[in-house]
C-alpha cells in the first residue's frame, strides 16, 4: 500500500495491490472477496484518489492436491480491510493526523468512491472522530 499525504497531514491518494491466489481454479464467486475487500480498504478515511489492483492468479495444485480453494465467505475482509489500512497508512501518525482524515458526521451520507458487485460503497451514518476520543 502506498499513501500520499500533503504537508498539512491530509491524505491525497492511496494505491493498493492485493495478491489474490485462486489455487487451481476460480470458483463461481472466487473474485467476490477481494473485490469487496478492495472497496472497503479506505475505511473511515477521506481519500480523494484511490486505486486498488487485484490480479487474480491461478496455478496448478501441488503433488498431493493441496491448495486452498477460495469461495464466498460471509463478511470476510469487512473488519480486516479498514484495520489493515489504518495500520499501514496511519499507524505511525499522531491522533491529530488521523482525525484530520476521518469522515465526519456532517459529511454523511458519504460516497467512498469505491464499490463491489456493482454497488457503490456509501457510509450512511457514523461518528468516526468520536472513536479516537479517550473513554
Q: What is the pLDDT of residue 85?
A: 61
Contact 22, 57 (CB under 8 A): yes
C-alpha cell, 9 = 497531514
**How far is 34 from 116, CA to CA, in rounded Å?**
9
pLDDT in tens, the chain (135 residues): 788 888 888 889 988 887 777 666 666 677 777 888 888 888 889 999 999 988 877 766 656 666 655 555 555 556 666 666 666 666 556 778 888 899 999 999 999 999 888 888 999 999 999 988 888
Model pLDDT, residue 62: 58
| pLDDT at residue number 51 | 93
Amino acid at each position: 500500500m502506498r499513501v500520499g499525504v500533503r504537508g498539512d497531514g491530509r491524505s491525497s491518494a492511496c494505491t493498493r495491490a492485493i495478491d489474490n491466489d485462486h489455487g487451481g481454479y476460480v470458483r463461481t464467486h472466487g473474485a467476490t472477496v477481494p473485490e469487496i475487500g478492495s472497496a472497503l480498504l479506505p475505511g473511515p478515511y477521506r481519500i480523494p484518489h484511490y486505486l486498488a489492483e487485484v490480479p487474480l492468479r491461478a496455478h496448478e495444485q501441488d503433488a498431493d492436491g493441496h491448495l486452498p480453494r477460495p469461495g464466498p465467505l460471509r463478511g470476510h475482509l469487512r473488519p480486516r480491510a479498514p484495520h489493515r489500512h489504518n495500520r499501514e497508512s496511519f499507524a505511525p501518525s499522531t491522533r491529530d493526523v488521523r482525525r484530520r482524515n476521518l469522515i465526519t458526521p456532517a459529511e454523511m451520507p458519504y460516497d467512498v468512491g469505491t464499490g463491489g458487485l456493482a454497488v457503490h460503497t456509501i457510509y450512511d451514518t457514523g461518528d468516526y472522530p468520536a472513536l479516537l476520543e479517550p473513554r
